[in-house]
Homo-oligomer: A and B are copies of this chain.
């Protein structure tokens, strides 16, 4: 009986996610349409969301309030999965560039720590 509840397990119906995020069903489906989230589906085609999905939705909401559009948010999400260094390596950069990039990445990591306390982190919700 090797069960495990992970933040990635699809547990929540859309009604609950609406309450948790203060988004409308229309908004949530629209963001899925733009592939910012990919909720699981039941056999009967109902969406089921994980806590990570809720997390992502809260971040989307925040970025939208900052005036960023779907395309921008999609790019932001891509960057989260593929760190700066990786992308730059693909471009065959010089050592000089690399040093600049690493400095920049450290700077970003710092500011992310600050903001992650306020935005898009479900952990703060748990007692």
Contact = CB atoms under 8 A, between A and B. Distances in A.
Interface of A: 3-7, 11-13, 15-16, 20, 42, 48, 122, 125-127
A35 to B, nearest CB: 25
A127 B11 contact: no
A126 B20 CA distance: 20
Q: What are the nearest 7 A-B pairs in CB distance?
A: A5-B125, A6-B127, A11-B16, A13-B13, A4-B125, A11-B12, A5-B126
Contacts of A6: 126-127
20 contacts: A3-B20, A3-B125, A4-B125, A4-B126, A4-B127, A5-B20, A5-B122, A5-B125, A5-B126, A5-B127, A6-B126, A6-B127, A7-B127, A11-B11, A11-B12, A11-B16, A12-B12, A13-B13, A15-B42, A16-B48
